[in-house]
Chain A
Protein backbone atom coordinates (compact mmCIF):
# COMPACT_ATOMS: atom_id res chain seq x y z
CA UNK A 1 0.00 0.00 0.00
CA UNK A 2 1.55 3.32 -1.05
CA UNK A 3 1.65 6.55 0.88
CA UNK A 4 -0.30 8.46 -1.75
CA UNK A 5 -3.07 5.88 -1.59
CA UNK A 6 -3.30 6.20 2.17
CA UNK A 7 -3.79 9.92 2.09
CA UNK A 8 -6.50 10.05 -0.59
CA UNK A 9 -8.62 6.93 -0.40
CA UNK A 10 -11.16 7.75 2.31
CA UNK A 11 -12.22 11.31 1.47
CA UNK A 12 -12.00 10.95 -2.32
CA UNK A 13 -14.71 8.28 -2.49
CA UNK A 14 -17.26 10.62 -0.90
CA UNK A 15 -16.06 13.76 -2.65
CA UNK A 16 -17.54 15.61 -5.59
CA UNK A 17 -15.67 13.52 -8.12
CA UNK A 18 -17.46 10.29 -7.15
CA UNK A 19 -20.21 8.80 -9.33
CA UNK A 20 -23.83 9.11 -8.09
CA UNK A 21 -24.00 5.35 -7.41
CA UNK A 22 -20.85 5.49 -5.32
CA UNK A 23 -22.12 8.48 -3.40
CA UNK A 24 -25.47 6.74 -2.74
CA UNK A 25 -23.55 3.70 -1.54
CA UNK A 26 -21.64 5.84 0.93
CA UNK A 27 -24.74 7.64 2.23
CA UNK A 28 -26.51 4.29 2.78
CA UNK A 29 -23.37 2.92 4.38
CA UNK A 30 -23.24 5.79 6.83
CA UNK A 31 -27.01 5.87 7.49
CA UNK A 32 -28.59 2.40 7.02
CA UNK A 33 -32.06 3.73 7.84
CA UNK A 34 -32.23 5.93 4.71
CA UNK A 35 -33.32 3.17 2.33
CA UNK A 36 -36.24 1.93 4.49
CA UNK A 37 -37.34 5.54 5.01
CA UNK A 38 -37.40 6.14 1.26
CA UNK A 39 -39.28 2.87 0.79
CA UNK A 40 -41.88 3.74 3.45
CA UNK A 41 -42.50 7.19 1.94
CA UNK A 42 -42.79 5.61 -1.51
CA UNK A 43 -45.21 2.99 -0.23
CA UNK A 44 -47.38 5.70 1.40
CA UNK A 45 -47.35 7.86 -1.76
CA UNK A 46 -48.21 4.95 -4.06
CA UNK A 47 -51.00 3.52 -1.88
CA UNK A 48 -52.47 6.98 -1.24
CA UNK A 49 -52.58 7.71 -4.97
CA UNK A 50 -54.33 4.38 -5.54
CA UNK A 51 -56.76 4.84 -2.64
CA UNK A 52 -56.94 8.19 -0.77
CA UNK A 53 -58.33 6.38 2.30
CA UNK A 54 -54.76 5.21 2.99
CA UNK A 55 -53.66 8.66 4.18
CA UNK A 56 -56.70 9.08 6.45
CA UNK A 57 -56.16 9.10 10.25
CA UNK A 58 -58.18 5.89 10.52
CA UNK A 59 -55.82 3.90 8.30
CA UNK A 60 -52.71 5.45 9.88
CA UNK A 61 -54.01 4.63 13.39
CA UNK A 62 -54.66 1.05 12.29
CA UNK A 63 -51.16 0.88 10.80
CA UNK A 64 -49.59 1.94 14.12
CA UNK A 65 -51.82 -0.37 16.19
CA UNK A 66 -50.99 -3.37 14.01
CA UNK A 67 -47.27 -2.60 13.92
CA UNK A 68 -46.73 -2.11 17.68
CA UNK A 69 -46.13 -5.71 18.78
CA UNK A 70 -43.82 -6.71 15.91
CA UNK A 71 -42.00 -3.39 16.24
CA UNK A 72 -41.44 -4.09 19.96
CA UNK A 73 -40.17 -7.63 19.34
CA UNK A 74 -38.04 -6.18 16.54
CA UNK A 75 -36.12 -4.02 19.04
CA UNK A 76 -34.84 -7.14 20.80
CA UNK A 77 -34.21 -8.88 17.50
CA UNK A 78 -32.21 -5.84 16.28
CA UNK A 79 -29.91 -5.93 19.30
CA UNK A 80 -29.24 -9.63 18.80
CA UNK A 81 -28.66 -9.31 15.04
CA UNK A 82 -26.22 -6.40 15.59
CA UNK A 83 -24.06 -8.78 17.66
CA UNK A 84 -24.07 -11.16 14.69
CA UNK A 85 -26.69 -13.46 16.22
CA UNK A 86 -30.31 -14.24 15.43
CA UNK A 87 -33.31 -15.11 17.61
CA UNK A 88 -35.82 -17.61 16.26
CA UNK A 89 -37.39 -18.02 19.71
CA UNK A 90 -38.62 -14.40 19.94
CA UNK A 91 -42.32 -15.20 19.43
CA UNK A 92 -42.22 -18.31 21.61
CA UNK A 93 -40.55 -16.38 24.45
CA UNK A 94 -43.12 -13.56 24.18
CA UNK A 95 -46.02 -16.03 24.23
CA UNK A 96 -44.56 -17.84 27.24
CA UNK A 97 -44.28 -14.52 29.10
CA UNK A 98 -47.76 -13.52 27.94
CA UNK A 99 -49.48 -16.77 28.96
CA UNK A 100 -47.66 -16.99 32.31
CA UNK A 101 -48.77 -13.53 33.40
CA UNK A 102 -52.30 -14.12 32.05
CA UNK A 103 -52.68 -17.42 33.95
CA UNK A 104 -51.20 -15.98 37.16
CA UNK A 105 -53.54 -13.00 37.14
CA UNK A 106 -56.68 -14.86 36.04
CA UNK A 107 -56.45 -18.14 37.94
CA UNK A 108 -54.05 -17.62 40.82
CA UNK A 109 -55.15 -14.21 42.06
CA UNK A 110 -51.79 -12.55 41.46
CA UNK A 111 -52.26 -8.76 41.23
CA UNK A 112 -51.80 -7.42 37.70
CA UNK A 113 -48.62 -5.36 38.32
CA UNK A 114 -46.92 -8.39 39.87
CA UNK A 115 -48.13 -10.65 37.05
CA UNK A 116 -46.84 -8.21 34.42
CA UNK A 117 -43.48 -7.99 36.22
CA UNK A 118 -43.28 -11.79 36.38
CA UNK A 119 -44.01 -11.87 32.63
CA UNK A 120 -41.08 -9.51 32.03
CA UNK A 121 -38.85 -11.65 34.27
CA UNK A 122 -39.86 -14.79 32.36
CA UNK A 123 -38.89 -12.99 29.14
CA UNK A 124 -35.55 -12.14 30.75
CA UNK A 125 -35.12 -15.76 31.82
CA UNK A 126 -35.75 -16.93 28.23
CA UNK A 127 -33.08 -14.45 27.10
CA UNK A 128 -30.72 -15.68 29.82
CA UNK A 129 -31.09 -19.28 28.59
CA UNK A 130 -30.42 -18.28 24.96
CA UNK A 131 -27.60 -15.93 25.94
CA UNK A 132 -25.87 -18.41 28.22
CA UNK A 133 -25.90 -21.12 25.56
CA UNK A 134 -24.63 -18.69 22.91
CA UNK A 135 -22.02 -16.82 24.94
CA UNK A 136 -20.77 -19.37 27.46
CA UNK A 137 -20.97 -22.65 25.53
CA UNK A 138 -20.40 -20.94 22.17
CA UNK A 139 -23.24 -22.67 20.36
CA UNK A 140 -24.48 -21.03 17.13
CA UNK A 141 -27.40 -18.65 17.87
CA UNK A 142 -29.44 -20.13 15.00
CA UNK A 143 -29.36 -23.62 16.52
CA UNK A 144 -29.79 -22.46 20.12
CA UNK A 145 -32.88 -20.39 19.38
CA UNK A 146 -34.30 -23.03 17.03
CA UNK A 147 -34.14 -25.38 20.01
CA UNK A 148 -35.55 -22.93 22.53
CA UNK A 149 -38.32 -22.03 20.03
CA UNK A 150 -39.59 -25.59 20.49
CA UNK A 151 -38.86 -25.68 24.22
CA UNK A 152 -40.63 -22.38 25.03
CA UNK A 153 -43.60 -23.38 22.85
CA UNK A 154 -43.86 -26.77 24.56
CA UNK A 155 -43.74 -25.19 28.05
CA UNK A 156 -46.49 -22.76 27.03
CA UNK A 157 -48.70 -25.61 25.83
CA UNK A 158 -48.05 -27.60 29.03
CA UNK A 159 -49.04 -24.57 31.13
CA UNK A 160 -52.16 -23.65 29.17
CA UNK A 161 -53.32 -26.86 27.57
CA UNK A 162 -53.67 -24.71 24.46
CA UNK A 163 -56.56 -22.63 25.72
CA UNK A 164 -56.92 -18.86 25.49
CA UNK A 165 -57.37 -16.60 28.53
CA UNK A 166 -60.06 -14.03 27.75
CA UNK A 167 -59.42 -10.42 28.69
CA UNK A 168 -62.58 -10.35 30.83
CA UNK A 169 -61.08 -13.02 33.13
CA UNK A 170 -58.02 -10.88 33.87
CA UNK A 171 -57.67 -7.73 36.02
CA UNK A 172 -58.09 -4.54 33.99
CA UNK A 173 -54.40 -3.58 34.13
CA UNK A 174 -53.51 -6.74 32.20
CA UNK A 175 -55.26 -5.39 29.10
CA UNK A 176 -54.48 -1.72 29.78
CA UNK A 177 -52.05 -1.54 26.86
CA UNK A 178 -55.11 -1.53 24.60
CA UNK A 179 -56.56 1.60 26.27
CA UNK A 180 -57.24 4.23 23.61
CA UNK A 181 -55.20 7.41 23.65
CA UNK A 182 -56.38 10.05 21.14
CA UNK A 183 -53.28 12.01 20.08
CA UNK A 184 -52.53 14.27 17.08
CA UNK A 185 -55.97 13.35 15.67
CA UNK A 186 -54.94 9.69 15.64
CA UNK A 187 -56.46 6.80 17.54
CA UNK A 188 -53.40 5.55 19.45
CA UNK A 189 -53.24 3.31 22.52
CA UNK A 190 -51.07 2.87 25.62
CA UNK A 191 -49.19 -0.01 23.96
CA UNK A 192 -48.04 2.18 21.05
CA UNK A 193 -46.71 4.76 23.50
CA UNK A 194 -44.91 2.08 25.52
CA UNK A 195 -43.29 0.78 22.32
CA UNK A 196 -42.28 4.33 21.33
CA UNK A 197 -40.60 4.80 24.74
CA UNK A 198 -38.89 1.41 24.28
CA UNK A 199 -37.45 2.63 20.97
CA UNK A 200 -36.20 5.86 22.51
CA UNK A 201 -34.58 3.99 25.40
CA UNK A 202 -32.85 1.34 23.28
CA UNK A 203 -31.92 3.86 20.58
CA UNK A 204 -30.26 5.97 23.29
CA UNK A 205 -28.46 3.00 24.83
CA UNK A 206 -27.15 1.87 21.42
CA UNK A 207 -26.08 5.29 20.21
CA UNK A 208 -24.92 7.15 23.28
CA UNK A 209 -23.59 4.71 25.88
CA UNK A 210 -20.45 2.59 26.10
CA UNK A 211 -22.62 -0.53 26.19
CA UNK A 212 -24.10 0.37 22.79
CA UNK A 213 -20.68 0.99 21.24
CA UNK A 214 -19.55 -2.39 22.57
CA UNK A 215 -22.60 -4.18 21.15
CA UNK A 216 -21.60 -2.90 17.70
CA UNK A 217 -17.92 -3.73 18.26
CA UNK A 218 -18.74 -7.30 19.31
CA UNK A 219 -20.87 -7.83 16.20
CA UNK A 220 -18.43 -6.14 13.85
CA UNK A 221 -15.09 -7.58 14.95
CA UNK A 222 -15.28 -9.85 18.03
CA UNK A 223 -11.52 -10.48 18.10
CA UNK A 224 -10.78 -6.74 17.96
CA UNK A 225 -13.29 -6.17 20.77
CA UNK A 226 -11.61 -8.87 22.87
CA UNK A 227 -8.16 -7.39 22.28
CA UNK A 228 -9.53 -3.97 23.26
CA UNK A 229 -10.34 -5.51 26.64
CA UNK A 230 -14.07 -6.03 26.16
CA UNK A 231 -15.62 -9.22 27.54
CA UNK A 232 -17.33 -10.41 24.36
CA UNK A 233 -19.32 -13.14 26.10
CA UNK A 234 -20.60 -10.73 28.76
CA UNK A 235 -21.78 -8.25 26.11
CA UNK A 236 -23.50 -11.06 24.17
CA UNK A 237 -25.18 -12.36 27.32
CA UNK A 238 -26.39 -8.87 28.25
CA UNK A 239 -27.89 -8.39 24.80
CA UNK A 240 -29.93 -11.61 24.98
CA UNK A 241 -31.18 -10.73 28.47
CA UNK A 242 -32.15 -7.18 27.43
CA UNK A 243 -33.93 -8.64 24.40
CA UNK A 244 -35.79 -11.03 26.74
CA UNK A 245 -36.94 -8.13 28.93
CA UNK A 246 -38.20 -6.39 25.79
CA UNK A 247 -40.11 -9.55 24.77
CA UNK A 248 -41.70 -9.56 28.23
CA UNK A 249 -42.86 -5.97 27.77
CA UNK A 250 -44.06 -6.79 24.24
CA UNK A 251 -46.10 -9.64 25.75
CA UNK A 252 -48.10 -7.17 27.81
CA UNK A 253 -48.59 -4.94 24.74
CA UNK A 254 -49.81 -8.05 22.89
CA UNK A 255 -52.43 -8.88 25.55
CA UNK A 256 -53.72 -5.32 25.34
CA UNK A 257 -53.82 -5.36 21.55
CA UNK A 258 -55.65 -8.73 21.33
CA UNK A 259 -57.81 -8.16 24.42
CA UNK A 260 -56.89 -11.71 25.40
CA UNK A 261 -53.88 -13.99 25.87
CA UNK A 262 -53.72 -16.75 23.29
CA UNK A 263 -51.02 -19.42 22.97
CA UNK A 264 -51.40 -19.03 19.20
CA UNK A 265 -50.67 -15.28 19.38
CA UNK A 266 -47.58 -14.18 17.49
CA UNK A 267 -46.46 -17.59 16.23
CA UNK A 268 -44.77 -16.14 13.13
CA UNK A 269 -43.13 -13.29 15.07
CA UNK A 270 -39.64 -14.68 14.52
CA UNK A 271 -39.85 -14.32 10.75
CA UNK A 272 -41.83 -11.08 10.95
CA UNK A 273 -39.32 -9.48 13.32
CA UNK A 274 -36.30 -10.66 11.33
CA UNK A 275 -38.01 -9.30 8.19
CA UNK A 276 -38.50 -5.90 9.86
CA UNK A 277 -34.87 -5.81 11.00
CA UNK A 278 -33.48 -6.79 7.60
CA UNK A 279 -35.70 -4.42 5.61
CA UNK A 280 -34.66 -1.79 8.17
CA UNK A 281 -31.09 -1.99 6.93
CA UNK A 282 -29.49 -3.86 9.84
CA UNK A 283 -26.86 -6.24 8.52
CA UNK A 284 -27.30 -9.96 9.25
CA UNK A 285 -23.50 -10.12 9.43
CA UNK A 286 -23.58 -7.95 12.55
CA UNK A 287 -21.98 -4.65 13.49
CA UNK A 288 -24.15 -2.38 11.36
CA UNK A 289 -27.72 -1.11 11.73
CA UNK A 290 -30.02 0.28 14.38
CA UNK A 291 -33.53 0.46 15.77
CA UNK A 292 -34.76 3.36 13.62
CA UNK A 293 -34.53 1.09 10.58
CA UNK A 294 -36.42 -1.68 12.37
CA UNK A 295 -39.49 0.43 13.15
CA UNK A 296 -39.48 1.64 9.53
CA UNK A 297 -39.15 -1.96 8.34
CA UNK A 298 -42.08 -3.07 10.51
CA UNK A 299 -44.17 -0.13 9.24
CA UNK A 300 -43.33 -0.97 5.61
CA UNK A 301 -44.54 -4.57 5.98
CA UNK A 302 -47.74 -3.46 7.72
CA UNK A 303 -48.34 -0.63 5.23
CA UNK A 304 -48.23 -3.22 2.45
CA UNK A 305 -50.84 -5.28 4.32
CA UNK A 306 -53.21 -2.34 4.76
CA UNK A 307 -52.47 -0.75 1.38
CA UNK A 308 -53.00 -3.92 -0.62
CA UNK A 309 -56.26 -4.59 1.24
CA UNK A 310 -57.49 -1.06 0.48
CA UNK A 311 -56.55 -1.53 -3.18
CA UNK A 312 -58.56 -4.77 -3.12
CA UNK A 313 -55.75 -7.30 -3.49
CA UNK A 314 -55.57 -10.48 -1.41
CA UNK A 315 -53.10 -11.11 1.39
CA UNK A 316 -50.91 -13.39 -0.74
CA UNK A 317 -49.73 -10.30 -2.62
CA UNK A 318 -48.45 -8.88 0.67
CA UNK A 319 -46.63 -12.14 1.38
CA UNK A 320 -45.14 -12.04 -2.12
CA UNK A 321 -44.09 -8.40 -1.78
CA UNK A 322 -42.47 -9.00 1.63
CA UNK A 323 -40.51 -11.94 0.22
CA UNK A 324 -39.18 -9.80 -2.63
CA UNK A 325 -38.35 -6.98 -0.19
CA UNK A 326 -36.36 -9.20 2.17
CA UNK A 327 -34.19 -10.54 -0.64
CA UNK A 328 -33.76 -7.04 -2.08
CA UNK A 329 -32.79 -5.70 1.35
CA UNK A 330 -30.12 -8.36 1.89
CA UNK A 331 -28.79 -7.82 -1.64
CA UNK A 332 -28.63 -4.08 -0.96
CA UNK A 333 -26.76 -4.77 2.27
CA UNK A 334 -24.15 -6.84 0.41
CA UNK A 335 -23.67 -3.99 -2.04
CA UNK A 336 -23.40 -1.39 0.70
CA UNK A 337 -20.88 -3.47 2.64
CA UNK A 338 -18.51 -3.40 -0.35
CA UNK A 339 -17.50 0.11 0.71
CA UNK A 340 -15.36 -1.58 3.31
CA UNK A 341 -12.85 -3.20 0.99
Chain B
Protein backbone atom coordinates (compact mmCIF):
# COMPACT_ATOMS: atom_id res chain seq x y z
CA UNK B 1 0.00 0.00 0.00
CA UNK B 2 1.29 3.45 -0.78
CA UNK B 3 0.54 6.50 1.28
CA UNK B 4 -1.48 8.11 -1.50
CA UNK B 5 -4.05 5.31 -1.46
CA UNK B 6 -4.47 5.23 2.32
CA UNK B 7 -6.41 7.79 4.26
CA UNK B 8 -4.73 8.92 7.47
CA UNK B 9 -6.56 8.33 10.76
CA UNK B 10 -5.25 11.60 12.10
CA UNK B 11 -3.90 14.35 9.91
CA UNK B 12 -2.34 17.58 11.21
CA UNK B 13 -1.47 20.55 9.00
CA UNK B 14 0.52 23.64 9.91
CA UNK B 15 0.31 23.22 13.70
CA UNK B 16 1.68 26.31 15.45
CA UNK B 17 2.18 26.88 19.16
CA UNK B 18 4.05 29.70 20.85
CA UNK B 19 4.80 30.27 24.51
CA UNK B 20 5.25 34.01 24.88
CA UNK B 21 8.19 34.75 22.59
CA UNK B 22 9.28 31.14 22.36
CA UNK B 23 8.07 29.36 19.24
CA UNK B 24 7.36 25.76 20.28
CA UNK B 25 5.90 24.55 17.00
CA UNK B 26 6.35 26.40 13.72
CA UNK B 27 3.87 24.91 11.28
CA UNK B 28 4.16 21.12 11.69
CA UNK B 29 2.45 18.58 9.40
CA UNK B 30 1.85 15.01 10.57
CA UNK B 31 -0.12 12.01 9.31
CA UNK B 32 -0.87 8.76 11.13
CA UNK B 33 -2.12 5.87 9.04
CA UNK B 34 -4.19 2.87 10.19
CA UNK B 35 -2.21 0.10 11.84
CA UNK B 36 1.15 1.84 11.93
CA UNK B 37 3.55 2.86 14.66
CA UNK B 38 4.71 6.40 14.00
CA UNK B 39 7.71 7.36 16.11
CA UNK B 40 8.53 10.99 16.82
CA UNK B 41 12.17 11.65 17.61
CA UNK B 42 14.02 14.89 18.21
CA UNK B 43 16.44 16.62 20.51
CA UNK B 44 15.30 18.19 23.78
CA UNK B 45 13.24 21.27 23.02
CA UNK B 46 12.54 20.19 19.44
CA UNK B 47 8.81 20.27 20.18
CA UNK B 48 8.00 16.56 20.46
CA UNK B 49 5.91 16.83 23.62
CA UNK B 50 4.33 20.10 22.53
CA UNK B 51 3.31 18.44 19.26
CA UNK B 52 1.56 15.49 20.85
CA UNK B 53 -0.02 17.75 23.47
CA UNK B 54 -1.54 19.73 20.61
CA UNK B 55 -2.81 16.49 19.03
CA UNK B 56 -4.44 15.25 22.25
CA UNK B 57 -6.09 18.36 23.67
CA UNK B 58 -3.58 18.91 26.48
CA UNK B 59 -2.55 22.13 24.72
CA UNK B 60 -4.63 24.21 22.34
CA UNK B 61 -2.59 25.09 19.22
CA UNK B 62 -2.41 28.72 18.09
CA UNK B 63 -2.81 27.75 14.45
CA UNK B 64 -3.21 24.81 12.08
CA UNK B 65 -5.87 22.19 11.44
CA UNK B 66 -6.58 18.66 12.63
CA UNK B 67 -8.59 16.04 10.78
CA UNK B 68 -9.74 12.73 12.23
CA UNK B 69 -10.79 10.23 9.53
CA UNK B 70 -11.11 13.15 7.15
CA UNK B 71 -13.37 15.20 9.41
CA UNK B 72 -12.03 18.48 10.87
CA UNK B 73 -11.76 18.34 14.68
CA UNK B 74 -10.49 20.69 17.35
CA UNK B 75 -9.70 19.70 20.91
CA UNK B 76 -10.08 22.31 23.67
CA UNK B 77 -9.28 19.90 26.51
CA UNK B 78 -8.01 16.31 26.94
CA UNK B 79 -11.57 15.00 27.32
CA UNK B 80 -12.42 16.13 23.76
CA UNK B 81 -9.70 13.89 22.35
CA UNK B 82 -10.67 11.00 24.63
CA UNK B 83 -14.28 11.31 23.51
CA UNK B 84 -13.26 10.53 19.92
CA UNK B 85 -11.01 7.61 20.92
CA UNK B 86 -7.55 9.17 21.23
CA UNK B 87 -5.80 7.98 24.41
CA UNK B 88 -2.52 9.38 25.69
CA UNK B 89 0.12 8.28 28.14
CA UNK B 90 1.84 11.45 29.26
CA UNK B 91 5.45 11.74 30.30
CA UNK B 92 4.28 13.03 33.69
CA UNK B 93 2.36 9.73 34.05
CA UNK B 94 -0.99 11.39 34.79
CA UNK B 95 -1.63 9.14 37.78
CA UNK B 96 -3.07 10.11 41.13
CA UNK B 97 -0.59 8.52 43.59
CA UNK B 98 -2.97 8.38 46.57
CA UNK B 99 -5.65 6.49 44.66
CA UNK B 100 -5.58 2.79 43.84
CA UNK B 101 -4.83 1.18 40.48
CA UNK B 102 -8.44 0.48 39.48
CA UNK B 103 -9.58 3.99 40.47
CA UNK B 104 -6.78 5.49 38.38
CA UNK B 105 -7.61 3.25 35.42
CA UNK B 106 -11.22 4.44 35.48
CA UNK B 107 -10.66 8.02 36.65
CA UNK B 108 -13.06 10.24 34.73
CA UNK B 109 -15.07 7.28 33.35
CA UNK B 110 -16.06 5.38 36.48
CA UNK B 111 -18.42 2.41 36.24
CA UNK B 112 -21.54 2.50 38.41
CA UNK B 113 -23.57 -0.44 39.69
CA UNK B 114 -26.47 -1.48 37.48
CA UNK B 115 -30.01 -0.58 38.56
CA UNK B 116 -31.13 2.06 41.06
CA UNK B 117 -28.01 1.60 43.23
CA UNK B 118 -26.02 3.10 40.39
CA UNK B 119 -28.50 5.51 38.85
CA UNK B 120 -30.04 6.90 42.06
CA UNK B 121 -27.34 6.32 44.68
CA UNK B 122 -24.42 6.73 42.25
CA UNK B 123 -22.78 3.65 43.81
CA UNK B 124 -19.51 2.72 42.10
CA UNK B 125 -19.02 -0.82 40.84
CA UNK B 126 -15.62 -1.28 42.44
CA UNK B 127 -15.54 -5.01 41.73
CA UNK B 128 -16.14 -4.58 38.00
CA UNK B 129 -13.53 -1.83 37.74
CA UNK B 130 -10.94 -3.95 39.57
CA UNK B 131 -11.62 -6.98 37.38
CA UNK B 132 -11.41 -4.97 34.17
CA UNK B 133 -8.22 -3.27 35.38
CA UNK B 134 -6.59 -6.62 36.05
CA UNK B 135 -7.71 -7.91 32.66
CA UNK B 136 -6.22 -4.83 30.95
CA UNK B 137 -2.95 -5.20 32.87
CA UNK B 138 -2.71 -8.91 32.13
CA UNK B 139 -3.37 -8.31 28.43
CA UNK B 140 -0.11 -6.36 28.45
CA UNK B 141 1.62 -9.33 30.04
CA UNK B 142 2.51 -7.38 33.20
CA UNK B 143 2.76 -9.98 35.94
CA UNK B 144 4.24 -7.92 38.79
CA UNK B 145 0.89 -6.31 39.54
CA UNK B 146 -1.46 -8.59 41.48
CA UNK B 147 -3.75 -6.31 43.46
CA UNK B 148 -5.82 -3.68 41.63
CA UNK B 149 -6.74 -2.16 45.02
CA UNK B 150 -3.11 -1.23 45.66
CA UNK B 151 -2.35 2.48 45.82
CA UNK B 152 -0.33 3.78 42.90
CA UNK B 153 2.18 5.50 45.21
CA UNK B 154 3.29 2.07 46.46
CA UNK B 155 4.22 1.05 42.89
CA UNK B 156 7.56 1.54 41.20
CA UNK B 157 7.94 3.89 38.23
CA UNK B 158 7.90 0.93 35.86
CA UNK B 159 4.73 -0.49 37.33
CA UNK B 160 3.03 2.92 37.12
CA UNK B 161 4.02 3.24 33.46
CA UNK B 162 2.64 -0.22 32.78
CA UNK B 163 -0.71 0.80 34.29
CA UNK B 164 -0.77 3.98 32.22
CA UNK B 165 -0.09 2.06 29.01
CA UNK B 166 -2.71 -0.54 29.92
CA UNK B 167 -5.23 2.26 30.51
CA UNK B 168 -4.54 3.84 27.12
CA UNK B 169 -4.71 0.45 25.39
CA UNK B 170 -8.01 -0.37 27.09
CA UNK B 171 -9.78 2.84 26.12
CA UNK B 172 -8.16 3.99 22.85
CA UNK B 173 -10.31 3.17 19.83
CA UNK B 174 -8.71 5.45 17.16
CA UNK B 175 -5.18 6.23 18.28
CA UNK B 176 -2.88 5.67 21.22
CA UNK B 177 -0.19 8.27 21.94
CA UNK B 178 2.74 7.30 24.15
CA UNK B 179 5.17 9.95 25.42
CA UNK B 180 8.44 8.24 26.44
CA UNK B 181 6.70 5.06 27.66
CA UNK B 182 9.92 3.15 28.31
CA UNK B 183 12.04 5.97 29.74
CA UNK B 184 11.61 4.81 33.35
CA UNK B 185 11.55 1.08 32.69
CA UNK B 186 14.03 -1.72 33.09
CA UNK B 187 14.95 -3.96 30.19
CA UNK B 188 12.30 -6.60 30.84
CA UNK B 189 9.40 -4.21 31.38
CA UNK B 190 10.48 -2.16 28.35
CA UNK B 191 10.18 -5.34 26.32
CA UNK B 192 6.67 -5.85 27.66
CA UNK B 193 5.63 -2.33 26.66
CA UNK B 194 7.13 -2.76 23.18
CA UNK B 195 5.26 -6.05 22.80
CA UNK B 196 2.07 -4.30 23.89
CA UNK B 197 2.62 -1.60 21.26
CA UNK B 198 3.04 -4.29 18.60
CA UNK B 199 -0.16 -5.95 19.83
CA UNK B 200 -2.00 -2.63 19.45
CA UNK B 201 -0.69 -2.21 15.92
CA UNK B 202 -1.71 -5.75 15.01
CA UNK B 203 -5.25 -4.90 16.15
CA UNK B 204 -5.13 -2.12 13.53
CA UNK B 205 -4.87 0.62 16.13
CA UNK B 206 -2.29 3.23 15.18
CA UNK B 207 0.28 4.33 17.78
CA UNK B 208 2.30 7.53 18.04
CA UNK B 209 5.43 6.91 20.07
CA UNK B 210 7.80 9.56 21.36
CA UNK B 211 11.10 8.09 22.41
CA UNK B 212 14.73 8.96 23.03
CA UNK B 213 15.62 5.30 22.78
CA UNK B 214 16.81 4.87 19.17
CA UNK B 215 17.11 1.05 19.25
CA UNK B 216 13.47 0.88 20.45
CA UNK B 217 12.38 3.27 17.70
CA UNK B 218 14.22 1.40 14.94
CA UNK B 219 12.87 -1.90 16.27
CA UNK B 220 9.23 -0.96 16.33
CA UNK B 221 8.44 2.10 14.19
CA UNK B 222 6.95 1.83 10.70
CA UNK B 223 7.78 5.48 10.03
CA UNK B 224 9.87 7.99 11.96
CA UNK B 225 8.93 11.67 12.16
CA UNK B 226 11.98 13.79 13.01
CA UNK B 227 11.30 17.03 14.91
CA UNK B 228 13.97 19.72 14.87
CA UNK B 229 13.70 23.29 16.24
CA UNK B 230 9.90 23.30 16.20
CA UNK B 231 9.64 21.98 12.63
CA UNK B 232 9.44 18.59 10.99
CA UNK B 233 12.90 17.87 9.57
CA UNK B 234 11.57 14.90 7.61
CA UNK B 235 9.87 11.52 7.82
CA UNK B 236 12.01 8.42 7.32
CA UNK B 237 11.66 4.66 7.80
CA UNK B 238 13.94 2.22 9.56
CA UNK B 239 14.85 0.71 6.18
CA UNK B 240 15.48 3.99 4.35
CA UNK B 241 17.90 5.33 6.98
CA UNK B 242 19.94 3.78 9.78
CA UNK B 243 20.15 5.12 13.31
CA UNK B 244 23.27 7.20 12.69
CA UNK B 245 21.67 8.94 9.73
CA UNK B 246 18.49 9.52 11.74
CA UNK B 247 20.40 11.07 14.63
CA UNK B 248 22.34 13.24 12.18
CA UNK B 249 19.10 14.67 10.80
CA UNK B 250 17.76 15.10 14.34
CA UNK B 251 20.79 17.15 15.42
CA UNK B 252 21.05 19.14 12.19
CA UNK B 253 24.36 17.52 11.10
CA UNK B 254 22.58 16.28 7.97
CA UNK B 255 19.42 17.28 6.13
CA UNK B 256 16.91 15.09 4.38
Contact = CB atoms under 8 A, between A and B. Distances in A.
Contacts of B194: none
23 contacts: A1-B158, A1-B185, A3-B185, A3-B186, A3-B188, A10-B155, A13-B154, A210-B110, A210-B122, A211-B122, A214-B107, A220-B97, A220-B99, A221-B95, A223-B94, A224-B93, A225-B108, A226-B78, A228-B78, A228-B94, A231-B79, A340-B97, A340-B153
B98 interface: yes
A2 interface: yes
Contacts of A209: 122-124
Interface string B104-142: 100111101000000000111010000000000000000
A13 B151 CA distance: 13
Interface string B219-237: 0000000000000000000
Contact of B107 (A4, A223, A225, A288): A225
B18 interface: no
Contacts of B11: none
Contacts of B77: 226, 229
A169 interface: no
A89 B94 CA distance: 33
Interface in B169-227: 184-189
Interface of A: 1-7, 9-10, 13-14, 30, 205, 208-211, 213-214, 216-217, 220-221, 223-231, 287-288, 339-340
Contacts of A228: 78, 94, 96, 104, 107-108
B245 interface: no
Contacts of B64: none
Contacts of A9: 154-156
A4 B156 CA distance: 10
A227 B94 contact: yes
A145 B187 CA distance: 51
Q: Is the interface of B mostly helix, strand, loop or mixed?
A: loop
Interface residues of B, number: 42
Interface in B78-99: 78-79, 82, 88, 90, 92-99
A6 B144 contact: yes
Contacts, number: 116
Contacts of A7: 144, 156
Given A213-B103, A224-B94, A230-B107, A208 B156 contact: no
A154 to B, nearest CB: 38
Given A6-B144, A213-B103, A228-B107, A221 B122 contact: no
A70 to B, nearest CB: 26
B124 A223 contact: no
Given A1-B156, A339-B153, A339-B154, A216 B109 contact: no
A340 B153 CA distance: 5
Nearest to A4: B186
Nearest to B100: A213
Given A210-B124, A221-B97, A229-B79, A2 B186 contact: yes
A213 B107 contact: yes
B158 A3 contact: yes
Contacts of A220: 96-99
Nearest to B88: A227
Interface of B: 58, 77-79, 82, 88, 90, 92-99, 103-104, 107-110, 112, 122-124, 126, 144, 150-151, 153-159, 184-189
B123 A208 contact: yes
Nearest to B110: A210
B96 A287 contact: yes
Given A208-B123, A208-B126, A229-B77, 10 more contacts: A1-B157, A1-B184, A2-B186, A5-B156, A6-B157, A208-B122, A225-B96, A228-B96, A288-B98, A340-B97
B4 to A, nearest CB: 36
A106 B155 CA distance: 59
Contacts of B126: 208
B92 A223 contact: yes
Contacts of A216: 96, 98-99
A211 B96 CA distance: 15
A10 B82 contact: no
A171 to B, nearest CB: 33
A217 B99 contact: yes
10 closest cross-chain pairs (CB), A and B:
A3-B186, A229-B79, A6-B158, A210-B110, A229-B108, A6-B156, A227-B94, A228-B107, A7-B144, A228-B108
Q: Which of B58, B79, B109, B156 has the most chain A CB atoms inside 10 A of its CB?
A: B156
B95 A224 contact: yes
